[in-house]
Amino acid sequence: MKTRTKAVVIGGGIAGCSTLYHLTQEGWTDVMLLERDELTSGTTWHSAAQVTNFGMNQTMVGLKSHSIALYKELAEDPDYPINYHHGDGGIRLANTEAQMDGYRHFASMARGMGVHFEVIDAEECARRHPLISTDNLIGGLWDPMDGDIDPAQLCQALARRARRAGAEVHRFTPVTGLRQLQDDTWIVETSKGEIHTDVVINACGYRVNEVGAMMGVHHPVMSMEHQYFITEEIPGIVQAGHRMPLLRCPISDYYCRQEKTGLLIGFYEQDCKTWGMDGIDPNFTMDLCPDDLDRITDVLEGAFERMPALTEVGIKTVVNGPITYTIDGAPLVGPIPGKRNAFCIIGLRAGLGEGGGHGWLLAQQIVHGEACYDTWVLDPRRFTGHGNVELCALKAIEDYQNEFRFHFPHEHRPAGRPAKTTPLTPVLAAEGAEFTVVNGWERMEFLKPAPDFHETLGFRFNEVFDIVARDVKAVSEGVGLAEVNGFNRYEITGADAHGFLDRMICGRVTRKPGKVGLGYLLNHHGMIKSEATIANLPASHRGPDRIWYGSAAAAEQHDMDWLTHHLRPGEDVQIRSLTNDMTILVLAGPKARDVLSAVSRGDWSADAFPWLSVREGLVGIAPATVMSVSFSGELAYEIHVPNNQLYAAYLALRKAGKAHGLHLFGARAIESMRMEKGYLHWKADLLTEFDPFETGLERFVKLDKADFIGKSALEARVAKGPARRLVTLRIDATDRPATPGSSVLAGDRVAGTVTSGDWGHRVGMNLAYAFVEPALAAPGTNLHLDLIGDRIAAEVIAPCPYDPQNHRVSG
């Protein structure tokens, strides 16, 4: 075993084998895989090994498509063929129209990735799968590429190809320790000696946190016991003359696929069970949990009703093994938060089916810094300090119990809440607030009109439409108050602070004291990495000259890693997070200045405190940092207050606001108003797949700057011309918004994808943002959208249909 290598992958299941293989495909051949036992001896060996193309977003569809293409290629390799039942087809059942709308949306979304799903009725479901009953069934989603694969053969095939490219695979080589050197390389300690490596990758399945502990981190990954059984021969399968499609049933919480002449049937019972929370036996390898069929009785009854043939056959084999979950059910694939040269590919609950794609995207990140898709939906940094063992267990149970029930727009499930709150959370709850969750924070969406109000979840406008209209009207005509908690905030100090930020940001960085600016950070490929508000706070009794860097709540760990990893040796820059110490109160509307003047001494006039200014002061008795910035398009102030005095500031504003009809508003109104103003959301519209020119942010780029990260790559992209353009669309529909991911059509051809959509109440338009082909980006261009199965007319309009000259933000 060599003692120096470029990368060490720890774990020999599908995650590790796929990563190793794809590293060699990206050009890194001096790489190693270490497995404590035999390859596939963890979860992989007992996987049901279904390979579907279905995903909840385009990134997931894309990586699954890669998996399918790779597995098909491996299966057809004459030197080492593997068993892959490709293209048996699969059906996801539905018994409500809302679920069917969801399937129509997912078909539209997948269409943009070159994947063609089919929405079929109940009779067609039964025709394609003759073993099922149509009782309590409306229809389903057909995936023609669905199938299953042999887990052990797949991993061996990937390892074999990696070895042929130059990689090493060492079985029965447990990792016993990890330590990082001052140059950020790693020493991997094993039972057979030490290995010095540039990069380390945790691909350890249910033992993820044993290796995580070696580098001082905890990963929010939890294992659940999962049972399936294999039946004896079913006459209907023998008589069918073709392989049965796979079936996934959210009605009765089970799935099945053909196994020889019987069925493999897996269950997601409500009385489910976590596994390994108190540690895992070191000898648990190629092993299973005790059978517990009593636990699945209720689910089994539903399966019997859906497939009566099951009542007439016996059970040959029962399997009960651990599978891994994360807080939101999606894997953690990417950089490990707070570490350098350390990555993970973990929490793959459907590892076999999509592991080929996960390894592909991770290898690209390791070798090139980014993948071909924006991978935020998989990024390990999307969970922050709230992602502990207990929260992960609660969310894993909830996700397990709802395995085949997708999240509807604006659906926020209750397990593990509240994780993060402010002193105002119970106050707003008492007012009747409905909350959404942003990076664990409970953030108000709107005030319920009655205590028993419940939103009808779906892909169409619902009862909340009029509530948001009321909120927007109150803000645009008077004054509104909203809490925006969790907003990411760093304090940056040091003699080199502005020079550092000038290197990080592609545009002009304001240095003037008391001023605020907006900037964009690019990656080394010239694509958008982050968006930041930069505020220069003059020296005061609260501290010396300092810069506040503000960004999206979810960016807390992402942006800290990016900034700290680009500090130069000897650079006088200090970065301190204030994210969990302060909260923003947004005061917005034409009467906002009147309310602020009533609670805070000083001159708040437009001349003394113009748009894009920042000032320290007091709101009532609470210290505050006030910025004249707006995400609503109205005169607005962001009032940043320490959490321990947040309630005091809130009371002062509410009291002063009574005379002006102050109205509480929430995130849903903010979303509507920002769409009208052309303001973009990070990781909705601001993606690593596009550069700032493609995203319509050229006014924030200064190519004549001496240098900034991504400059040379951006110049090359500009010379080449855009691949896509972000446009604003007016949609000819009043009953439904454009759900992100929906396909934009030019004729019958997919020409783009929606990133955001909502109704603009001030302009009376159904609005969407979408990336489209450049030739279709001119205002006046007529297009169509595929919205929940219907072809809806849309027109490209100029950005910012509401107050495009920004007269209202200055009051």
Give the integer Cα–Cα distance in Å for 545 and 130: 73
Q: Which of 469, 483, 677, 730 is nearest to 587 (CA)?
A: 483
When pLDDT is cut at 50, 70 and 90, the band that residue 351 belongs to is confident
Angle at 796 between CA 791 and CA 799, to 5 degrees: 135
Give 354's pLDDT tier (boundaries 50, 70, 90).
very high
CA pair distance 749, 726, nearest whole angstrom: 18
pLDDT at 366 (0 to 100): 98
Buried/exposed code over 348-370 (b: 16+ C-beta within 10 A; e: otherwise): bbbbbbbbbbbbbbbbbbbbeeb
524 contacts 513 by C-beta, under 8 angstroms: no
* Percent of the chain whose pLDDT exceeds 70: 100
Greater confidence, 811 or 412? 412
Q: Cβ distance 328 to 357 under 8 Å?
A: no
State the average pLDDT over residues 254-278: 96
**pLDDT tier at 656, thresholds 50, 70, 90:** very high
Tell me the C-alpha to C-alpha distance, in Å, between residue 390 and each of 274, 381, 515, 694.
11, 18, 43, 42
Q: What is the pLDDT of the chain when averaged over all its residues?
A: 97
Which tokens is 515 given? 């001023």
pLDDT band at 777 (very low <50, low <70, confident <90, very high): very high
Q: Identify which of 401, 370, 425, 408 has the alpha carbon closest to the alpha carbon of residue 298.
A: 401
**pTM for the whole structure:** 0.97
Residue 418: cis peptide before it, omega within 30 degrees of 0: yes
Q: What is the pLDDT of residue 340?
A: 98
Around Cβ 306, how many Cβ atoms within 10 Å? 23
* Cα(279)–Cα(327) distance, integer angstroms: 19
**How far, in Å, CA of 574 to CA of 567, rounded?**
9
Q: Which two tokens stand for residue 98?
A: 């809302």
Structure tokens at 102: 């969801």
State the greatest distance between any 2 C-alpha atoms of the chain, in Å, as a whole number: 85
Are 801 and 767 in contact by the 8 Å Cβ rule? The answer is yes
Residue 308 DSSP symbol: G
CA 365 vs CA 21, 212, 355: distances in Å: 14, 20, 15
Residues 288 and 291: their CA atoms lie apart, in Å, by: 9
Q: What residues form DSSP beta bridges with 438?
A: 441
Task: Say if residue 385's pLDDT is above 90.
Answer: no
The full length of the chain comes to 811
CA 419 – CA 794 distance, rounded (Å): 40
Residue 428 CA to residue 447 CA, distance in Å, equals: 8
Token pair belonging to 226: 């999962």
What single letter denotes the amino acid at residue 755?
Answer: T
Residue 175 has pLDDT above 90, yes or no: yes
* 518: helix, strand or coil: strand
Which residues are paired to 32 by β-bridges? Answer: 8, 168
Place of tokens 């110049």: 715
Cα(29)–Cα(26) distance, rounded to whole angstroms?
9
DSSP code per residue over 636-695: EEEEEEEGGGHHHHHHHHHHHHGGGT-EE--HHHHHHHHHHHT---BTTTB-TTS-TTTT
pLDDT for the residue 811: 83
Instruction: Let me know the angle formed at the C-alpha of 461 by 457 and 463, rounded to the nearest 5 degrees.
Output: 70
Q: What average pLDDT does the segment 380-388 reach? A: 93
Phi, psi for 197 (deg, rounded to 5):
-135, 150
- The pLDDT of 163-179, averaged and rounded, is 98
| Arithmetic mean of pLDDT, 684-689 | 98
**Rounded to an integer, what distance in angstroms lies between the CA atom of residue 39 and that of residue 16?**
9
Strand stretches in 79-182, DSSP E:
84-85, 90-94, 118-121, 139-143, 147-149, 168-170, 175-180
Q: Which stretches of 523-638 are DSSP H helices? A: 556-564, 592-599
pLDDT tens-place string over residues 429-458:
999 999 999 999 999 999 999 999 999 999
CB 50 within 8 A of CB 291: no
Residue with tokens 């907006």: 518
Tokens found for residue 727 = 């446009």
pLDDT tens-digit map of 129-144: 999 999 999 999 999 9
Q: Does residue 303 have a pLDDT over 90?
A: yes
Distance CA 687, CA 690 (A): 6
> So what's the pLDDT on residue 33?
98
* Three-state SS annotation for 388-417: CHHHHHHHHHHHHHCCCCCCCCCCCCCCCC
- pLDDT at residue 241, rounded to an integer: 85
CA distances from 244 to 188, 248, 393, 620 (A): 47, 13, 35, 70
- In the chain, the percentage of residues whose pLDDT exceeds 90 is 99
Name which of 212, 219, 521 is nearest 384 in CA terms: 219
Say which residue the tokens 């994210």 belong to.
579
The position carrying tokens 């200064």 is 702
The mean per-residue pLDDT over the stretch 771-788 comes to 98
Residue 523 — very low, low, confident or very high, per pLDDT cuts 50/70/90? very high
Distance in angstroms (rounded) separating the CA atoms of residues 780 and 785: 15
Residue 464 near residue 446, CB atoms below 8 Å: yes
DSSP 8-state code for residue 98: H
Residue 769 predicted with pLDDT over 90: yes
Residue 630: the pLDDT is 96
pLDDT for the residue 245: 98
Beta strands in 58-217 (DSSP E): 84-85, 90-94, 118-121, 139-143, 147-149, 168-170, 175-180, 186-190, 193-202
User: What mean pLDDT do residues 781-799 have?
Assistant: 98
In the chain, the N- to C-terminal Cα span, in Å, equals 70
Q: What's the pLDDT score for residue 176?
A: 98
Query: Average pLDDT in the 87-106 region?
Result: 98
DSSP letter at 466 equals: H
